[in-house]
């Protein structure tokens, strides 16, 4: 099995759209009444969810309207959010066919298919022309990509000069053995963590200028603590949430990730860049 296939298989659900529809019914919603806010619990598959997305986008400050690139878009939650809020057009790309198929359906539910287009493919070889995008971002993507130099060279290629690009990834903070599974990998074979310094080196070699770096360690632990309190108070998770994506392995994956963060081995980090 190819490496890309292994990564894609890790995220495979098998009946994802149907699972989301059932969860919506449990919430008293239908595909005609569901909102961007409703879906955020399942389609923002990164630490901090919508809070983290907002924090990053406020720093990117994309001009209106823009044509944006979402690298490793997953279900396209962030793409739909930024398109809905600011009327941007967004192209997203992701390895996992089921995520792309489901995400494009969610776009039609929300009448955003005219603004958001999701494509299946590799971030290392994107089907877009040079200098196509006014800006872009990636949310929890680099953990599955070993060749960061090629990744950022490809992203640099498709962005216009002057474009802002934001990264929010889980990054290695110090040496040490991670506990698996985690949300992005079942074991170390598909976990390709790099340090912030390695990210910055690869970005600068590609031609990007670094404008900001933010370690979100404390935010992540506070977020998980508040989530636990809310879950306990409600005697379980809500019908719609990331447990739909990770299914029976959710508690183990999230628990291991939190332990790895607490040990100082990893942390979510933002890096804001500019293509000159």
Q: How far apart are CA 50 and CA 47, in angstroms?
A: 9
CA angle at 89 for the pair 84 and 91, rounded to the nearest 5°: 115
Q: Using CA atoms, how far apart are residues 246 and 208, in angstroms rounded to an integer?
A: 34
Express as a percent the part of the chain with pLDDT over 90: 97
The stretches in the chain having pLDDT less than 70 are none
Cβ pair 232, 12 in contact under 8 A: no
Instruction: Assess contact for 156 and 133: CB atoms under 8 A.
Output: no
> 99-155, pLDDT tens digit by residue?
999 999 999 999 999 999 999 999 999 999 999 999 999 999 999 999 999 999 999
Q: How far is Cα 91 from Cα 42, in angstroms, rounded to an integer?
A: 20
What pLDDT is recorded for position 89?
98
Report the pLDDT value the prediction gives residue 64, as an integer from 0 to 100: 86
Q: What is the pLDDT of residue 110?
A: 98
pLDDT attached to residue 43: 96
Q: Domain locations in the chain?
A: 3-275
State in words which class domain 3-275 has.
alpha beta
Contact 163, 133 (CB under 8 A): yes
pLDDT tens by residue, 71-93: 999 999 999 999 999 999 999 99
The answer to whether 127 and 112 have CB atoms below 8 angstroms apart is no
pLDDT, residue 60, reads 97
């Amino acid at each position: 099995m190819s490496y890309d296939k292994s990564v894609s298989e890790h995220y495979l659900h098998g009946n994802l759209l149907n699972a989301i529809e059932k969860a919506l019914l449990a919430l008293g919603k239908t595909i005609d009444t569901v909102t961007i806010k409703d879906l955020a619990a399942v389609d923002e598959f990164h630490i901090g969810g919508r809070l983290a997305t907002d924090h990053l986008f406020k720093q990117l400050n994309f001009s209106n309207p823009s044509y944006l690139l979402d690298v490793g878009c997953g279900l396209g939650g962030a793409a739909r959010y930024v398109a809905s809020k600011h009327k941007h057009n967004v192209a997203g790309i992701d390895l996992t066919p089921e995520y792309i198929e489901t995400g494009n359906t969610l776009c039609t539910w929300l009448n955003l298919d005219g603004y958001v287009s999701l494509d299946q493919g590799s971030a290392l070889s994107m089907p877009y022309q040079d200098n196509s995008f006014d800006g872009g971002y990636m949310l929890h993507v680099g953990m599955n990509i070993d060749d960061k130099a090629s990744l950022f060279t490809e992203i640099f290629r498709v962005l216009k000069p002057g474009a802002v690009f934001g990264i929010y990834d889980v990054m290695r903070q110090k040496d040490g053995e991670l506990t698996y599974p985690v949300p992005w990998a079942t074991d170390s074979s598909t976990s390709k963590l790099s340090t912030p310094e390695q990210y910055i080196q690869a970005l600068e070699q590609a031609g990007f200028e670094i404008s900001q770096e933010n370690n979100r360690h404390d935010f992540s632990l506070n977020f998980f603590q508040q989530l636990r309190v809310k879950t306990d108070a409600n005697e379980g998770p809500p019908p719609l949430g990331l447990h739909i994506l990770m299914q029976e392995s959710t508690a183990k994956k999230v628990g291991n990730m939190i332990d790895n963060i607490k040990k100082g081995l990893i942390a979510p980090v933002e890096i804001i860049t500019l293509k000159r």
